[in-house]
Amino acid sequence: MFARKATFGIDGLLAGITLDLINFPVKTLPEEVDPIALYKLGLVLIPTVLVLLLCAFLFFIGYPITRESHEKTLQAFQTKKN
């Protein structure tokens, strides 16, 4: 529960800082948002998503799991369950 709340808090903080850095307008109707602000948002969003995907990819590549180790883990759970 704490980790979830901390993650949401950090996410909100980073989003707010990002919007401040690109001078995104506050209390503006969607059709009144300057296209340059949307462009800047895209310049931040796209690399951020790509970096996070790369981190996830590297994490999963480094995770040592095989079919055999998975089967052993399942068997261990079954023996503990019974």
Number of domains composing the chain: 1
Predicted local distance difference test score (pLDDT) of residue 15: 92
φ, ψ of residue 48 to 5 degrees: the values are: -65, -45
Under the banding of pLDDT at 50, 70 and 90, the label for residue 12 is: very high
Residue 81 has pLDDT above 90, yes or no: no
Place of tokens 């059709």: 31
Q: Are 50 and 35 in contact (CB under 8 A)?
A: no
Rounded distance between C-alpha atoms, residue 50 and residue 43, angstroms: 12
Which residues, at least 6 apart from 19, have a Cβ–Cβ distance to it below 8 Å?
41
Percentages helix, strand, coil for the chain (3-state, rounded to 5) are: 80, 0, 20
Banded pLDDT at 71 (limits 50, 70, 90): very high
